[in-house]
Structure 1
Amino acid sequence: MHRRRLALICSLLIPISIFAQEKGTLKGKIIEESTKRPLSGATVSIKGRPFTCSTDTSGMFVLSSIPAGTYSLVISNIGFQEKILNDVGVVNGKTSYLEAELLQDARQLSAVSVRAFRGENNLSTPVSAYSFSREEIFKSPGAQGDIFRAIGILPGVVSSGGQYSAIAVRGQGTSDNVYMVDDIPVFQVSHLEIEGFNSGFNDPNGGRFSIFAPRVIDNATFQGGGFGAQYGRKNASYLGLGIKEGNRTNPFYSGQFDLLGFTLIYDGPSGVDRKTSVFASARYQDFRLLEKMVGLTRAGFPSYGDYMIKTSTEINAKNKLTFIAMYNPEKYTRDVDNVLDSKNLNDDNNSSFVGRSVVTKGLAGLHLRTLTGRSSYWKNILYYRFLDVNNRLGNSTPAVDTAGNIIKTGSIPYETDLRRIRNKQFETGYRSIFTTRLGRDVTATAGMDLSRVDLDYTRKLKHTDTLYTFNSNDYRPDPAAYYLVLDPVDFNASVKDHAYNASGYLDLSVTLFDRLTLNPGVRYDYTGFTKQNTVAPRLSGSIRLDEKQNINFAAGIYYQDPSYADIASQPMGHLLRNERAYQYILGYKFYFTPDLKFTAEGWYKKLDDLAVQPASGRPYLNNAGTGNAYGFDGSLIKRLSKKFHGQLSYSFMRSKRDDHDGLREYDYIFDLPHVISLLGSYEHNKKWIFSGKFRYATGRPTDTYVVHRNVFNDPGLLRSSQEIVKKNGRRLRDFISLDLRADYKFNSGRIQYTAFFDVVDVLNQFNQNSAIFQPITGRTYYLGLAIFPTFGMRLEF
């Protein structure tokens, strides 16, 4: 009898235990944003589910026995803005760990009005602030997990079409933005920005893909201007990226496999020290298969890898140490077989270019955060970064018929090493930043940055070269010769040098009369390679009109260092100066509902000391350039609630430059009068998510020119040249793109699968990025991209 009862009890417990294994746990820590102190008594609950708890004295919380799935986590505490974390995953039999920061409710807006816009209502950054979560980045249609492609939807932000990921902000260039990764300054954030491809200079379009694999970035904060004094050496915008920290309780493994390659991630305890977690990722991408699918083998073959590890150690209750290391190699080759795949040199995305580019870059950094008092903390960051560019760039001269078709002969004359560029950069830096809250209404941040930069730069031209594109005012010894001759003595450079940079800054945030917040700041910089001292005062603020609306403003001076490649390529003793920008911003925000926000901002910039190239094809630069940019950005953003989220934005952007070279003022390459973006996402159920993104932009400016035929007067060497008569005097076709994405989630045991299909430009409209003159045919062809699909599977366990 007892055995029968025991058997009956066991038979009842077995399905219960199996059911229990089909559930997971959420564990985490809640801290205060302004002091980094743990928050006790904060309420943590799962939206729409009966799971809730409070944090203990160390800020910790635990939610147990949660069915596997994806949820919205609601975090609240008296005196703080309520925060909602969407797309928080729970895995069967696992304990997921997360940390979140709560912003103090500064009495400007009610917590109810701002709860869905986490990270965007810090009154010390009131202007142009937007945030992205890890899941928002991954699921952005057309972004394919790339943080920069996701940011391209924001007002005032443009990219160079689907072919490029680099961003340009409010009329400035792709190299004018501040990028910080876990408080470490980073300059090379893109792959396949081939130095020297564009007549010996960097491509203004920037790189094609970012160095951050999907789901590596845990959070991103973007400001289109008006950022504080603690960020400098670039003058357009600020993007702060936080790398995900490892799960401290259970190991998680995930992998993504698609047409381009794979990404593998480990997220869990170190296995060595119980106080240390590890987040590590490895990504490899090769474009051969995709290029064959979309018919782009003529473009050459790029490949790259991104390898990263981050460790986080809670040394004690007051000290937290993180270590991060990144290694990002890449390779691009194009040979005569790719030229033959072109078939016709006049077709878009064709070129007679051949060569090879090999680039390695990486960084390592230590970050110690110390709680120094009840309302202050101190961050100390030590970092090292490197860049090694090894490019051999050349050209081929295939025979063509009158229509531009390549005539296949026994061999095509070519040389792959006409131009050789070796650019090595090494930087060692230290940052020390102290933040304290002086009562409820005043916060102060003071800091300093020190760094040493070593340059080892060599550029060689194999022999005299002919330039077939030139400006009408370029000096030509023979005015009847409609081309330029580039001699090695005018191109070659060899520099091995080092310099020291130093910065000091102070930012304050003061709330007055419960309605006015002022954020004054000042920044000092010494730039070693320019031997220049600069002082940049800045001010931003916010005026509360009522619980749902406020007015924001900012004004300030921003300096930008010359690029290291430009510094190294100048003649001996010729120093470039830092570029300067004056910024003015006035904005308005209105919260219709807790998840629906309207923003409008007008902005103006005055630019001077811009580095410009007075003679075509030659590396010499001066700081004679001036310019201005102005515009308006408006957006209506609905954050995820119920099953929908979306965004509608419009930007009016004008950007003018004058190089003072006799060609007068012209439209800058990122002068785009009208940009419209529309993003929408629908969560059909817990398994299916559908999203789409539509973008329209006025066509980019390009040069007006005349063509000179048979410039050598030799029927055996037919070449044409392009004489620029007006810089950016016409425009490319308008940019139009519709991107679609579908995600399907399902569980199998302890493994969670996500199948996705992501298509850039489903309309298959060829979007022109730039116009390139082909001297062999005398015609212009265009670089650009049409449909670009990818699909794959992500799994987590």
Structure 2
Amino acid sequence: MNNANLPNRFIVLSLLMSMASFLSFAQSSGNLKGKVIEKATKQPLIGANVYIDDLKQGAVTDTSGVFSINDIPVGAHSVTISSVGFQKKIISEIIITSNKTYYSEIELLEDVSVLSGVTVKGFSGEMNPLTPVSSYSLSREEIFRNPGAQGDIMRALSFLPGVVSGGSQFSAIAARGQGTQDNVYMVDDIPMFNLSHLEAEGINSGFNDPNGGRFSIFAPRVIDNVQFQNGGFDAAFGRRSSSYLSLGVKEGNKESWSFSGQFDLLGATLIADGPVSKKTSIFASGRYLNFGMLLNLLGQNANTITLGDYMVKSTTQINVRNKLSVIAMYNPESPSRTIDDVEAGVNLNDDNSTGTALWNHQSSNVMVGVNLQTLLDSKSYLKNVLYYRSSRLDNNFGRYNPSVDSEGVVVDPLHRGYVANLRRIQNNQQEVGYRSIYTKNFDKLILTAGVDAMMVNLDYERRLFQTDTIFTLRTRDINTNSPRYYQILDPALYNSRYDGSAFNGSGYVTLSWRLSNRFTLNPGVRYDYTGFTGQHTLSPRLSGSYAVSERQSLNFATGIYYQDAAYTNVAGQSSGNTIWNERSFQSILGYKFQIANDWKFVAEGWHKRFDDVIVQPNRVESYLTNDGDGYAYGADFSLTKRLSSKYYGQLGYSFMESKRNDNNGLGEYDYAFNIPHTISILGSYKPSDKWIFSGKFRYSTGRPTDAFIIHPDVLGNPDNQKYGQEITQVNGDRLPDFISLDLRADYNVLTKWGVFSAFVDLVNVSNRFNVNSEIYIPETGNVFNLGLGVFPTFGVRVEL
């Protein structure tokens, strides 16, 4: 990959920054307005203080919990919200723009201090006794500033302790020894099973790619708040077992309209945000990405990759007791590599060569949800959520058969023709769901009880159109009496067809019981019924926190977690073969030290034991069983400086071991995301209102990969030379270590008409090629490395 001319590409950005300095600046003012409520009961807080730290001016909330501060100078301001009996909350940066009102609804947690006279300032619920372990939060500004993330929430999460991404070009996250499909995702209280684009279902010999997707379905600045628990989450959440991620989509501004646009190497994003009536506000965003310009910049193969993300959310305060939000999302994508994209002269052994594969993917996701929050009395509230989601996918896979020279360079792409439609995956899902969650706050007890119900329809087909030859196999698949170093894939052992519906139901109760000023205990139990398997499961869970002092606590969590089989796996089984839910037993013990108002140290040790793990006896056939088991354990350490004043950052280290055993006589092996050592360092500094500089360093042990040997001319045909790959040990080797330094610079100018911003975001500035996986090439007997070197983007953002 040649990036010698890369610096010249930034001339355009430099010119844009220079132009910005000539924009007329009007030193005028704007306003701040909002509402302060209790997190536990959602009731308005009367008499809460809202204080703009640098201006030393503020306001007090009225009987409706509403406050208003006018004539605030334009720029970034830190705001502290406090109320007697509640934790102080800091909003590190509120951007006030000319002649507009910034509106925010703010939740405060009950004070958990054990000594009088000292108040620990909490950030977005991090001192919540309901979530004593593995809890992290990110603000909208912290997500956007995260270097290398390019505004992508999933990439921003990959630096958290115990979290790894699919690696390099992938953004989906895997947590504490489990996979990218094992996480609970909630978006505005609506369950989502996939938050990523380009997940490439079916690309791995017709089965799911374990790396997950490459980009999140949320455009920059769409997500307003993030809550992440790296295990140990309570009984209110289930059907996935690894981690819990809650994303809150920004609500529309109730006071004034704003319009913004971001334009960069990847594409464009437009956002509109404002009131449509006295009671209703709208937040709408649209993003279109086309990767052609970036791929050309990086000198990579010409593939067509386009995707879009479109969202609208309305919020209506019906009356003092009822708040209604409606959200709708549409996320299409259309990547392809056809025979027209293939040229002579390409070396199949080069990194990211994509080998001889052809594909044409068409997919789209739709989600519509309605969320009604009702205040029942001064101590309780009810959430009712109704949602519909659908996913439509049509993936076609083919292969061309070139002639290559001794170095692996394609001489004639169509030497033996090509097959455009060798395999096809069609996966259409529809789900209608309802959730009702009741919360009651007693004197020393918070009760949460709820039910979930969903009707799921699967219309699935996996089809191989002709007998295929697979040149990768394991040693155990070889017939020792008549060795043959390839497999013949019969459509009868691959094809599957499923069209059916099933009902899934859940019920759960959790308590947060403050036994004393120092000790909080959170017992809970969850019941799930899974219609596709007819399985009933019960999951008891327990967590707690003991306050050693006003700033230090010991925390723990333990429980049973069940995980539904992926819908694609359920639909892919032959008649009569039922796969069950996987089960894990999890325990966490941690220590938390709130060093200062915005400094926190956390150390946690954890252990997991797995059984009924779904395994695939033959890698190219549909048949699955629950014969697997395994275990994982590790420890995470983090020192976090939350965003306040001019800087924030985090230092983290994670140790992890994760093993699986398919119980097929070959013993245990490293799980795909067994990453023993991970180090992350992140920092951001804002020297002035105009400039923000951020950097992030990441190191991790290389991911496991199969150990193998190569057999030449396995077809015995010199005119059609093919090499066979014999896997001698599953995940018996490792890829090179992952090392990346990411840098970001933002330049902001407040003008008389709004905000102008220009940014540069560089992933892996040293251009070290970080390998994500190895793809075997039968035509050359080698592997090409799938990964990423430097990945730059730059652009501008304008807000009116």
TM bin, normalised by shorter chain, reads over 0.9
Q: How far apart, CA to CA, are the structure 2 residues paired with 1:179 and 1:111?
A: 39
Contact kept, 8 Å, 1:82 with 1:112, in 2: the verdict is: no
Written as runs of structure 1 = structure 2, the 5 A alignment for 1:607-686 is 607-686=610-689
Counterpart among 290, 298, 319 of residue 286 in structure 1: 290
Matched residue, 1:68: 74
Structure 2 distance, partners of 1:679, 1:339, is 40
Work out which of the residue numbers 724, 740, 751 in structure 2 matches 1:721: 724
Amino acid across the alignment from 1:120: E
Residues 354 and 59 (structure 1), Cα distance of their counterparts in 2 relative to 1, 3 Å cut: same
Call closer, same or farther: CA 1:339–1:110 in 2, change over 3 Å. Answer: farther
Contact persistence 1:93–1:750 (CA under 8 A): no
**CA–CA distance in 1 between the matches of 2:300 and 2:115?**
52
Kept after mapping to 1: 8 A contact 2:400/2:414? no
Q: Which residue of 2 aligns with 1:366?
A: 370
Distance 1:397 1:550, change over 3 A: same
TM-score, length of structure 1 as denominator length? 0.96
Counterpart of 1:729, as a letter, is: G
Identity of aligned residues (%): 54
Cα distance in structure 1, aligned partners of 2:26 and 2:345:
60
1:517 aligns with 2:523: no
Match of residue 128 from structure 1: 134
Structure-2-length-normalised TM-score: 0.95
Partner of residue 5, structure 1: none
Q: Which moved more, 1:526-535 or 1:104-113?
A: 104-113
Q: CA 1:342–1:511 in structure 2 vs 1: closer, same or farther (change >3 Å)? A: farther
Equivalent residues in 2 for 1:184-333 (5 A)? 184-270=190-276, 273-298=277-302, 300-333=303-336
CA distance, structure 2, for counterparts of residue 373 and residue 472 of structure 1: 66
| Alignment of structure 1 residues 284-433 onto 2, 5 Å | 284-298=288-302, 300-340=303-343, 343-350=346-353, 351-408=355-412, 413-433=417-437
The C-alpha deviation readout for 1:118-168, integer Å capped at 9, x for no partner, is 321110100000001111111110000111100111000001223011000
Match runs of 1:495-644 below 5 Å: 495-644=498-647
Q: How many residues align?
A: 776
1:30 aligns with 2:36: yes
Per-residue CA deviations over 1:279-303 (Å, capped at 9, x if unaligned) read 00000000000000011134x2211
Q: Which residue of 2 aligns with 1:6?
A: none
Residue 444 in 1 paired to residue 447 in 2?
Answer: yes
* CA drift at 1:19: 11
Bigger drift between 341-350 and 506-515 goes to 341-350
Secondary structure, aligned partner of 1:166? strand
Q: 1:108 to 1:448 in 2, by over 3 A?
A: farther
Aligned partners of 2:585, 2:625: CA distance in 1, in Å?
Answer: 20
What one-letter code is carried by the residue in structure 2 that aligns with 1:740?
Answer: L
2:468 is matched with 465
d(CA) in 2 for partners of 1:449, 1:279: 27
Cross-structure match for 1:15: none
Aligned CA-pair RMSD: 1.5
Give the equivalent residue in structure 2 for 1:152: 158
Structure 1 126/409 Cα, relative in aligned 2: closer, same or farther at 3 Å?
A: closer
In structure 1, what is the Cα distance between the partners aligned to 2:296 and 2:142? 30
The Cα offsets for residues 206-265 of structure 1, whole Å up to 9 and x where unpaired, read as 000000111000000000000010000000000000000000111111111101110000
> Which amino acid is 1:124 matched to?
L
The verdict on how the C-alpha distance between 1:109 and 1:594 changes in structure 2, with shifts beyond 3 A counting, is: farther
- 1:56 aligned partner, one-letter code: D
Q: Is the 8 A contact 1:105 1:111 kept in 2?
A: no
* 8 Å contact kept, 1:683–1:689: yes
- The one-letter code of the counterpart of 2:181 is S
What's the CA shift string for 1:311-344, capped at 9, x where partnerless? 0001100000100000000011012344427710
- One-letter amino acid of the counterpart of residue 146, structure 1: D
Match of residue 8 from structure 1? none
Question: Separation in 2 of the partners of 1:38 and 1:20?
Answer: 36
Aligned-partner Cα distance in 2 for 1:229–1:506: 7
Could you say which residue in structure 2 is the equivalent of 1:711? 714
Q: 2:10 maps to which residue? A: none
In structure 2, the partner of 1:93 is: 99
Are 1:453 and 2:456 an aligned pair? yes
Residues 478 and 485, structure 2, Cα contact 8 Å, conserved in 1: no
SS in 2 for 1:289: helix
One-letter amino acid of the counterpart of residue 120, structure 2:
V
Return the letter of the residue paired with 1:511: R
**Whole-angstrom CA distance in 2 between matches of 1:710 and 1:20:** 74
Partner SS for 1:292: helix
**Residue 793 of structure 2 corresponds to residue 760 of structure 1:** no
Whole-Å separation in 1 of the counterparts to 2:629 and 2:110: 42
Q: Distance in 2 between matches of 1:153 and 1:344?
A: 34
SS at match of 1:122: coil
Asked if 1 retains the 8 angstrom alpha-carbon contact of 2:344 and 2:410, the reply is no
Is residue 115–residue 594 contact of structure 1 (8 Å, CA) maintained in 2? yes
**TM superposition shift of 1:73:** 1.1
- On the 8 A contact 1:336/1:412 being kept in 2, the answer is no
Whole-angstrom distance in 2 between the partners of 1:27 and 1:334:
51
- 2:20 is matched with none
Question: What is the one-letter code of the residue matched to 2:189?
Answer: D
Q: CA deviation at 1:448?
A: 0.3
Residues 155-186 of structure 1, C-alpha deviations (whole Å, 9 max, x = no match): 00001223011000001000000000000000
Q: Which residue of 2 aligns with 1:733?
A: 736
Q: Aligned equivalents of 2:645 and 2:173: distance in 1?
A: 31
Alpha-carbon distance between aligned partners in 1 of 2:158 and 2:115, rounded to the nearest angstrom: 28
Q: Is the 8 A contact 2:344 2:412 kept in 1?
A: no
Amino acid at match of 2:173: I
Single out whichever of 424-433 and 101-110 deviates more from structure 2.
101-110
1:259 and 1:139, CA in 2 relative to 1: closer, same or farther beyond 3 A?
Answer: same
Distance 1:110 1:697 in 2: 43
Alpha-carbon separation, structure 2, partners of 1:680 and 1:96: 27
Structure 1: distance between partners of 2:272 and 2:751: 20
The answer (yes or no) to whether the contact 1:379–1:433 under 8 Å persists in 2 is: yes
AA matched with 1:726: Q
Encode CA deviations 1:350-392: one digit per residue, 9 max, x unaligned.
Answer: 1111110011101000000000011000000000000001011
Question: Given the superposition, is the C-alpha separation of residues 477 and 35 from structure 1 closer, same or farther in structure 2, using an over 3 Å criterion?
Answer: same
Q: Deviations over 1:63-98 (max 9, x none)?
A: 100111111111001100000012211110111111
Instruction: Report the alpha carbon displacement of residue 205 of structure 1 after superposing the two structures with TM.
Output: 0.4
Cα shift readout 1:462-498 (whole Å, capped 9, x = no counterpart): 1000111111112659732111111111111111100
Call closer, same or farther: CA 1:64–1:709 in 2, change over 3 Å. same
